[in-house]
Amino acid sequence: MEDENRLIAEETFDTLCGTLDEMNWNCDIDREKLQIATRIKSDGLPFNLRMVMDVEREFMLLYATFDFNIPVDKIAECALCLCMINDNLVDGTFDLNVTSGRLRFRMSLSFRDGLVSAESCGGFLALAVHIINEYSEKLQMAAAGQLSAAEMLRYTNDEY
Amino acid sequence: MENTNLIAAKKAFETFCAMLDEREWHYQKDEEKLTVDAVARGDDLPINLRVVVDPKCQLVLLYSPLDFTIPEEQIAETAIVLCIINDNLIDGNFDIDITTGRLCYRMSMSYRESLLSAEAYAYFIAYAIEVVDAYNDKLLMAAKGMLSPEELLGNTEDE
């Protein structure tokens, strides 16, 4: 069963690599660890993206991390901001390590049933990048003390 | 395209309901809205489950609203508690509406270009129940002001 899962994970990994290739993304690929790392510079802030196949749980995990951390004195305010953002999302979540201030975006795609198409991988990546671009600058502003939880609430309520 | 999406959504909904039937779950379904409501028995608190098939996003969405809300004076502290919990999860997350104090666990599965099996849905439900069951009592304590972020951090480090 473990071997079978590994084969499916490898197949999904190849599909993902093919999708990234078609999108002309330059990636560091580690086929042994079934892991891909890349740096995204698109509409919003640049961020690091890591995608890894979880063979045991049979899903692909996407993690995005940013070039800034949340300072200790802004953790409480940013925790509120994160909760507001997450409550607005249909898929994926922003995580905050409250001891280190590390911020990340996390999303998953199951390959439990074997076949994950290139379209599915492409849609998954596009949605993740869209969500990150939507909120990363706001989170950087919150980290810098330039955006309060009250202002974030107005933003997430589409009042801007 | 819209019609194709709806056909795929209905197929996903049927497979999901068939999985519940096979496991003799009691549930309410709305075939128009493609929603299923059920209650699972947790170790301590009951676990509400609402599953929605979203044709537009091609996602099966699972929401598990908790039976209690966070009082206004505990919202700020609970937001930090939620960050600690969510940062430890592999899949899904707990959401809070900071204006109402409503808490909900959320998880999703994409059926884009694929037909998810009953086994995949069974795993989906089982995982959600496990996570909610692991944390709903802690969140209830946080709601009552009986669990601080510092105490939770101590617990999660132990785990």
pTM, entire model: 0.93
Its sign, for the CA torsion B129, A111, A2, B120, is positive
Average pLDDT over residues A108-125: 84
Would you say residue A81 has pLDDT above 70? yes
Which residues of chain B fall below pLDDT 70? 1-2, 156-159
Predicted confidence (pLDDT) at residue A49 exceeds the cutoff of 60: yes
Considering only residues B155 and A119, tell me which one the structure prediction assigns the higher pLDDT: A119
Q: Chain B closest CA to A113's CA: distance in Å? A: 6
If you average pLDDT over residues A91-101, what whole number do you get? 97
Task: State the pLDDT confidence band at A159, using cuts at 50, 70 and 90.
Answer: low
Q: What's the pLDDT score for residue B154?
A: 82
Q: Which residues from chain B sit within 8 angstroms of residue A79, using beta carbons?
A: 76, 79-80, 82-83
> What is the Cα–Cα distance from B142 to B145, expressed in whole angstroms?
5
A91, closest residue in chain B (CA to CA): B108
Q: What's the confidence (pLDDT) of residue B116?
A: 80
Question: How many of the other CB atoms lie within 10 Å of CB of B115?
Answer: 12
pLDDT at B44: 83
Looking at the complex, report in whole angstroms how far the Cα of residue A72 sits from the nearest Cα belonging to chain B.
Answer: 12
Q: E-strand spans in chain B?
A: 27-30, 35-41, 46-54, 59-69, 93-97, 102-110
pLDDT digits (tens, 9 = 90+) for B70-92: 999 999 999 999 999 999 999 99
Q: Report the complex ipTM.
A: 0.93
Give the number of A-B residue pairs with CB atoms closer than 8 Å.
Answer: 100
CB contact under 8 A, B110 and A109: yes
Nearest CA in chain B to A112: B120
Cα B4 vs. chain centroid, distance in angstroms?
A: 27
- The answer to whether the Cβ–Cβ distance between A91 and B91 falls below 8 Å is no
Residue of A57, A96, A113 lying closest to B114 (CB–CB): A113
- Give the closest of B92, B95, B124 to A87, CB-based: B95
B106 contacts in A (CB within 8 Å)? 93
- The nearest CA of chain B is from the CA of A25 a distance in Å of 22
The predicted structure's pLDDT at residue A158: 76
